[in-house]
Amino acid sequence: MYALTAIKGVGRRYANIVLKKADIDFSKRAGELSHDELERIVEIIQNPLQYKIPQWFLNRQKDRTSGKYWQLVSNAVDNSLREDLDRMKKVRVHRGLRHDWNLRVRGQHTKTTGRGGRTVGVTKKK
């Protein structure tokens, strides 16, 4: 199970549900899997909705361009994140601007923390 989590976009819970749908024992190690079991795992990861994995479980819900639900894996995760950030920067959304300025995006306080290596403080007199 934990070998699947090495794939970007596949976490522990998603790996768990994929192995349940493929009827594979959780205690099996990655090298012990047969070719057929590997093909079943790949098929379920690529087409999760056909195997009745719920939409709320997927990591790309209601895509902006297509309106579909996806489970993004490996390079697709990075590509979609980059596209989303570029779209936000282009539209000049507040969140996109914060990303562009390399500031905190999620409402954290920035007065004293996260100054990025610049030392500010009192110098000691000799």
Burial class (CB in 10 A: 0-12, 13-18, 19+), 114: exposed
> Count of alpha carbons within 13 Å of 113, Cβ hemisphere only?
4
What is the structure's pLDDT at 126?
Answer: 75
Q: For every one of its 126 residues, what pLDDT tens digit does the chain have, with 9 covering 90 and above?
A: 788 889 888 999 999 999 999 999 988 888 999 999 999 999 998 998 898 989 898 888 888 888 888 888 888 888 888 988 999 999 999 999 999 988 899 999 988 887 876 666 677 877
Residue carrying structure tokens 């936000």 = 88
Could you identify the residue written with the tokens 């590509």? 79
Q: Cα 104 to the chain's mean position, in Å?
A: 19
The reported pLDDT for the residue numbered 12 is 92
User: Cα–Cα distance between 73 and 69 in angstroms, integer?
Assistant: 13
Residues paired with 60 in a beta bridge:
70
pTM: 0.74
